[in-house]
Amino acid sequence: MLDYQRLVSLDTLLTLGDALAEKGHGKQPAGYLIQLAGQTREFEMPRPIFTNGERSEWAAGIYNNHHTDVEMRADIPKVLKSPTASLVQIDEARGELASFLRDTLVGLNYAYYEPPGAQALHNNPLFVRSHDFAGETVGGLKTLWQAPELLGQGSPAGGGAHFVGSLADLPYALADLEQDFISPDSVQALIWKELTPELLASATIPRWWDVSPLELHAIALYQRSGEELLTASAKDEALRNQVLIILSTRLLPQRSRQIEEALRAGRVSEMLPQMMPADTFYLAAEFRRQYPAQPGVGGSATQELDELCRLHPEQADWNRLSRDFGTPHPSLAQNYGPELLNMMPMPPLAGYSSRFLAESWDSPNLYWARLADEGGYSPVMLNHFVPQLTRKLVEKIFATDFEDWPELLRAMHETGAEFQEGKLTPLKRGAARP
Amino acid sequence: MVRKLLPLILIPLGFALGDVPDMEAQESPDFHVVVNMVQLNVAVTDKNGKYITGLRPKDFVIAEDGILEKTATFAEGNEPARSLRELAEQDSPAPSGDLAEPSSDGASTFDAQVRGANVFVLFDTSNYMYRGFVFAQDAITEFIRSLETADRIALYSYSRDLSRVAPLTADRTQVVQAVRSTVAGDEAALYNALLLTLKDAAQNTGRKVVVVFSNGPDNSSVVPPEDVAEFAQSAGVSIYMISTQKAKLEPVSTAVFDRMTAATGGKAYFAKDWKDEHRAFASVRDDLAHLYSLSYYPKPNANAGWRAITVRLVGDQLKKYKLRTRNGYRPQPSRFSRGDTTASAGAGPE
Distance CA(B32)–CA(B302), nearest Å, equals 9
Q: What pLDDT score was predicted for residue B287?
A: 82
Kindly write down the DSSP assignment for every residue of B139-170, as one continuous string: HHHHHHHH-TT-SEEEEEEESSSEEEEEEEES
Contact B187 A154 (CB under 8 A): yes
Q: Which of B220, B255, B330 sits opposite A153 (nearest CB)?
A: B220
Is B245 exposed, middle or buried, given 0-12, 13-18 or 19+ CB atoms closer than 10 A? exposed
Is pLDDT larger for residue A293 or for residue B190?
Answer: B190
Measured between beta carbons, the chain B residues lying within 8 angstroms of A158 are 224
Contact A35 B29 (CB under 8 A): yes
CA nearest to A9 within chain B: B18
Contact B164 A183 (CB under 8 A): yes
Distance CA(A275)–CA(A230), nearest Å, equals 10
Q: What pLDDT score was predicted for residue A129?
A: 92
Q: What pLDDT score was predicted for residue A219?
A: 97
Q: Which of B160, B219, B251 sits opposite A188 (nearest CB)?
A: B160
Distances (CA, A) of A377 to A158, A415, A421, B16: 46, 17, 14, 35
**Least confident stretch, A96-105, A246-255, B93-102, B247-256:** B93-102
A120 reaches B (C-beta below 8 A): yes
Question: What's the alpha-carbon Rg for chain B, to the nearest Å?
Answer: 21
Query: What is the ipTM score, two decimals?
Result: 0.88
Is pLDDT larger for residue B18 or for residue B248?
Answer: B248
Measured between beta carbons, the chain B residues lying within 8 angstroms of A76 are none
Neighbours of A235 (CB within 10 A): 11
B339 reaches A (C-beta below 8 A): no
Q: What pLDDT score was predicted for residue B112?
A: 41
Q: What pLDDT score was predicted for residue B166?
A: 94
Measured between beta carbons, the chain B residues lying within 8 angstroms of A38 are 17, 29
Between residues 143 and 172 of chain B, which touch chain A (CB distance below 8 Å)? 160-164
Confidence of residue B115 (pLDDT cuts 50, 70, 90): low
With a cut of 60, say whether residue B52 has pLDDT above it.
yes
**Least confident stretch, A253-267, B251-265, B321-335:** B321-335
Measured between beta carbons, the chain B residues lying within 8 angstroms of A49 are 225-226, 229, 255-256, 259-260, 263
Contact A49 B220 (CB under 8 A): no
Kindly write down the DSSP assignment for every residue of B229-266, as one continuous string: HHHHHHHT-EEEEEEEGGGGGSHHHHHHHHHHHHHHT-
CA nearest to A15 within chain B: B20
With a cut of 80, say whether residue B84 has pLDDT above it.
no
**Mean pLDDT on A104-129:** 93
Same-domain pairing of A295 and A394: no
Is pLDDT larger for residue A226 or for residue B110?
Answer: A226
Q: Which of B27, B163, B189 sits opposite A81 (nearest CB)?
A: B27
Instruction: For A33-71, write each residue's pLDDT tens digit.
Output: 999 999 998 888 888 899 989 988 888 777 777 888 888
Instruction: For B168-202, write each residue's pLDDT tens digit.
Output: 998 888 999 999 888 887 889 999 999 999 999 99
Three-class SS of residue B332?
Answer: strand
- For helices A318-325 and A213-233, the axis angle rounded to 10 degrees is 110
Distance CA(A206)–CA(A382), nearest Å, equals 10
**Mean pLDDT on B21-27:** 39
B186 reaches A (C-beta below 8 A): yes
Same-domain pairing of A42 and A23: yes
Same-domain pairing of A231 and A374: no
Residue-range domain boundaries for chain B? 2-77+79-95+293-337, 114-290
Kindly write down the DSSP assignment for every residue of B272-308, as one continuous string: SSGGG-HHHHHHHHHHHHH-EEEEEPPPP----S-EE
Range of the domain at A119: 1-179
Within A113-266, residue ranges assigned H as helices are: 120-123, 170-178, 192-204, 213-233, 237-248, 253-264
Q: Which residues pair with B69 in a beta bridge?
A: B62
Q: Tell me how close the Cα of A151 comes to any Cα of chain B, in angstroms.
A: 9
Q: Tell me how close the Cα of A421 comes to any Cα of chain B, in angstroms.
A: 22
Measured between beta carbons, the chain B residues lying within 8 angstroms of A182 are 161
Q: What pLDDT score was predicted for residue B283?
A: 81
Instruction: For A399-426, write each residue's pLDDT tens digit.
Output: 777 667 788 899 999 999 999 988 876 5
Measured between beta carbons, the chain B residues lying within 8 angstroms of A160 are 222-224, 226-227
With a cut of 90, say whether residue A260 has pLDDT above it.
yes
Mean pLDDT of chain B: 77
**Mean pLDDT on A179-207:** 86
Confidence of residue B316 (pLDDT cuts 50, 70, 90): confident
With a cut of 80, say whether residue A398 has pLDDT above it.
yes
Distance CA(A27)–CA(B44), nearest Å, equals 59
Contact B24 A125 (CB under 8 A): no
Q: What pLDDT score was predicted for residue A187?
A: 72
CA nearest to B166 within chain A: A185
With a cut of 70, say whether residue B49 has pLDDT above it.
yes
Confidence of residue A374 (pLDDT cuts 50, 70, 90): very high
With a cut of 80, say whether residue B147 has pLDDT above it.
no
Confidence of residue A342 (pLDDT cuts 50, 70, 90): confident
The structure's pTM equals 0.84
Q: Which of B25, B27, B252 sits opposite A156 (nearest CB)?
A: B252
Same-domain pairing of A189 and A165: no
Q: Which of A44, A125, A157 sits opposite B306 (nearest CB)?
A: A44
Q: How many residues are given for chain B?
A: 350
Same-domain pairing of A118 and A28: yes
Distance CA(A86)–CA(A269), nearest Å, equals 81
Same-domain pairing of A75 and A170: yes
3-state percent breakdown (helix, strand, coil) of chain A, nearest 5: 55, 5, 40
Confidence of residue A289 (pLDDT cuts 50, 70, 90): very high
Q: What pLDDT score was predicted for residue A13?
A: 96
Mean pLDDT of chain A: 88
A51 reaches B (C-beta below 8 A): no
Q: What pLDDT score was predicted for residue A263?
A: 93
Among B268, B281, B295, which Cα is nearest to B42's? Answer: B295
Same-domain pairing of A307 and A350: no
Within A38-127, residue ranges assigned H as helices are: 52-58, 66-73, 76-81, 87-112, 120-123
Same-domain pairing of A220 and A148: no
Confidence of residue A297 (pLDDT cuts 50, 70, 90): confident
The answer to whether A98 and A105 have CB atoms below 8 angstroms apart is no
With a cut of 70, say whether residue A172 has pLDDT above it.
yes
Contact A31 B23 (CB under 8 A): yes
Q: Tell me how close the Cα of A418 comes to any Cα of chain B, in angstroms.
A: 19
Q: What pLDDT score was predicted for residue A118?
A: 92
Distances (CA, A) of B322 to A375, B55, B267: 61, 13, 14
Overall number of domains in chain A: 3
Q: Tell me how close the Cα of A31 comes to any Cα of chain B, in angstroms.
A: 4
B29 reaches A (C-beta below 8 A): yes
> Which residues neighbour A149 within 8 Å (Cβ) at sequence distance 6 or greater?
A163, A164, A165
Same-domain pairing of A255 and A295: yes
Instruction: For A137-151, write each residue's pLDDT tens digit.
Output: 776 666 677 889 998
CATH topology of domain B114-290: Rossmann fold (3.40.50)
Distance CA(B199)–CA(B343), nearest Å, equals 10
**Mean pLDDT on A299-327:** 94
Element (H, E) at A360: none
**Mean pLDDT on B222-228:** 94
Between residues 155 and 194 of chain A, which touch chain B (CB distance below 8 Å)? 156-161, 177, 180-184, 187-188
Domain boundary (A179, A197, A229) is at A179
Same-domain pairing of A41 and A92: yes
Q: What pLDDT score was predicted for residue A430?
A: 47
User: What is the CA angle A103-A104-A110, rounded to 5?
Assistant: 90
Between residues 227 and 266 of chain B, which touch chain A (CB distance below 8 Å)? 227-231, 251-253, 255-256, 259-260, 263
The answer to whether A285 and A295 have CB atoms below 8 angstroms apart is no
